[in-house]
Amino acid sequence: MHAVTEADICKTKLEESIVVRALVCPGQGAQSIGMGKSLAEEYSTAKAVFEEVDEALGEKLSNLIWEGDIADLTLTQNAQPALMAMSLAVLRGLESEGFDLSSCSYLAGHSLGEYSALAMSKAISVSDAARLLKARGLAMQDAVPVGKGAMAAILGLNFDTVQSLTNLAQAQAPGICQAANDNDPSQVVISGEKSAVELAIAFAKEEGAKRAIMLPVSAPFHCELMAPAAEQMKIKLDSIKIDTPIVPIVSNVSAEAISDPDTIKKLLVSQVTGSVRWRESILWMAANDVDEIWEVGSGKALSGMIRRIDKDISLKNFSSAEDIKSAVF
């Protein structure tokens, strides 16, 4: 029988102390007026991110972010590049304090946040990410006439149950209705034609959902109604260079890590009409030894979801200079 030596004990302690970390970037809905201002004031590299985005878009998006009207910032063509800029500014602040992205095993982002993760990992430039997200927002808004589409949050039912209800609503309405975001074990967002979504809400309430409510969105994202936007994004993505990310990206579409540039491009197109498999993405990371996740960007919505998916994962949030200054890493 092998005697336990001091070396064995040291090795065990070392293995226990190794943290497997992932960074995640929020999606639409996390935007707020003033986000990132403290970062730009504290870190010149964070300020440079906002300047680069302004230059890429040919407009002062930073003025809208810091001093504008929330209704204008919430317009999807503004919110998408703004939230990407915010996540990248947080990363630059972290790097200024000594953080190294290569200490992470994976990156991921919720919907548009996937573009933030790709820019962090140097698969695409910040300028290209800004232009792509502006185009993505406009294409998604233009894909469906205002008032035709809708989205709703279903709370208290799991994804499989909600998916069966959307299939039923789609058949009976009739009209497109899909499970768009599998956010956590008890939160699923559905998307589609308004009449079908309303029918699915009624079915969900009959099934015992805690809540089933329409969301204040301008278009039905992540469903087949977005097919015209997907075609537009394919054209846009074909026009830019995507490099191998320095840290693998856990894709919304496949719910597993990817690094091949062609696969990344293909899945970004599929993401426009496909479900955001967030719950499965977090479970995949947990199964691949991730035990700490940092939410990098505006808000704490993803952390709430992750806590409900796997309570054993340690969470940290970074959205301000104060958060970064008080961190230990």
| Catalytic-residue membership of 281 | no
Q: What is the pLDDT of residues 259-311, one digit of tens each?
A: 999 999 999 999 999 999 999 999 999 999 999 999 999 999 999 999 999 99
Position 284 scores a pLDDT of: 98
Position 217 scores a pLDDT of: 84
Q: Which of 222, 251, 281, 303 is catalytic?
A: 222
Contact 35, 319 (CB under 8 A): yes
Position 147 scores a pLDDT of: 85
Position 5 scores a pLDDT of: 59
CA distances from 326 to 164, 316, 329 (A): 46, 11, 10
- Can you list the residues of the chain whose pLDDT is less than 70? 1-17, 328-329
| Catalytic-residue membership of 62 | no
**CATH superfamily assigned to domain 6-143+224-325:** Malonyl-Coenzyme A Acyl Carrier Protein, domain 2 (3.40.366.10)
Position 9 scores a pLDDT of: 41
Separation of alpha carbons 191 and 152, rounded Å: 7
What's the whole-model pTM score?
0.93
Looking at domain 149-214, which CATH architecture does it have?
Answer: 2-Layer Sandwich (3.30)
For CATH 3.30.70.250, the residue range(s) in the chain are: 149-214
Any idea how long the chain is? 329
- Omega cis (within 30) before 145: no
Q: Which of 38, 111, 116, 303 is catalytic?
A: 111
Position 11 scores a pLDDT of: 42
Position 14 scores a pLDDT of: 39
For CATH 3.40.366.10, the residue range(s) in the chain are: 6-143+224-325
Position 4 scores a pLDDT of: 56
